[in-house]
């Protein structure tokens, strides 16, 4: 159920974490810490403050946040939000060759960087995702860590749009 910003700002911490803690995949600590900076002045302010929590988290916490996300195109059990997002761009309808390529690239990416490939899929398609995965495999570890965190921020913003009424 979406909430107004006023409702979000008045929620007890536990209720806020229940409402928004899921937007950072299996990492409710982001919402819990961000709750201390309420009231949020706007939707953008809420997003910025939640992202600030991630930016100021320890390196270990940030790596754990990245690792909490599933591989794109996985057929394993994943969160309902990840399932819906991936279905929305056709990752559940890959051809056998596309699926094999995605598995191969995901494996290479995870071996190189130590976390799954992250891409905010909303508004994209399977071809752009595969192209980005192939291209980002060429990144340096530091550049890719920063890009993965940017993608997590975008994913969280898209998810928060379903939590907060405009």
Residue 61 lies in a domain: yes
Choice between 108 and 79, residue whose per-residue pLDDT is larger: 108
d(CA 39, CA 18): 17
Considering the chain, what is the average pLDDT of its residues? 93
pLDDT at position 153 is 98
Residue 127 lies in a domain: yes
Residue 65 lies in a domain: yes
Domain that holds residue 146: 5-160
User: Looking at the 3D structure of the chain, how many domains does it have?
Assistant: 1
Q: Residue 95: left if φ>0, alpha if ψ -120 to 50, beta else—which one?
A: beta
Q: How sure is the predictor about 76, in pLDDT bands with cuts at 50, 70 and 90?
A: low
Residues 137-150: tens digit of each pLDDT: 999 999 999 999 99
pLDDT at position 75 is 59
Task: Tell me what the mean pLDDT of segment 106-117 comes to.
Answer: 97
Q: Which two tokens stand for residue 107?
A: 């494996």
Look at residue 85 and tell me whether its pLDDT is greater than 80: no
pLDDT at position 78 is 57
26 assigned to active site: no
Domain containing 131 — which CATH number?
Answer: 1.10.3330.10
Residue 11 lies in a domain: yes
pLDDT at position 45 is 98
pLDDT at position 90 is 77
Residue 146 lies in a domain: yes
d(CA 88, CA 151): 17
Residue 165 lies in a domain: no
pLDDT at position 42 is 98
pLDDT at position 166 is 75
Catalytic: which of 69, 136, 157, 159? 69
């Amino acid at each position: 159920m979406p909430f107004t910003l006023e409702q979000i700002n008045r929620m007890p911490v536990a209720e806020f974490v229940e409402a928004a803690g899921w937007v950072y995949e299996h990492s409710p600590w982001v919402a819990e810490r961000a709750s201390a900076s309420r009231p949020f002045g706007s939707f953008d302010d809420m997003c910025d403050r939640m992202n600030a929590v991630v930016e100021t988290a320890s390196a270990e916490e940030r790596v754990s946040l990245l690792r909490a996300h599933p591989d794109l195109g996985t057929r394993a059990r994943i969160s309902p939000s990840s399932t819906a997002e991936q279905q929305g761009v056709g990752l559940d309808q890959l051809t056998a060759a596309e699926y094999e390529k995605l598995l191969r690239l995901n494996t290479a990416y995870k071996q190189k960087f130590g976390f799954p490939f992250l891409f905010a899929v909303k508004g994209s398609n399977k071809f752009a995702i595969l192209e980005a995965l192939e291209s980002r495999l060429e990144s340096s570890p530091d550049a890719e860590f920063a890009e993965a965190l940017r993608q997590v921020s975008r994913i969280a913003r898209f998810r928060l749009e379903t939590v907060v009424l405009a």
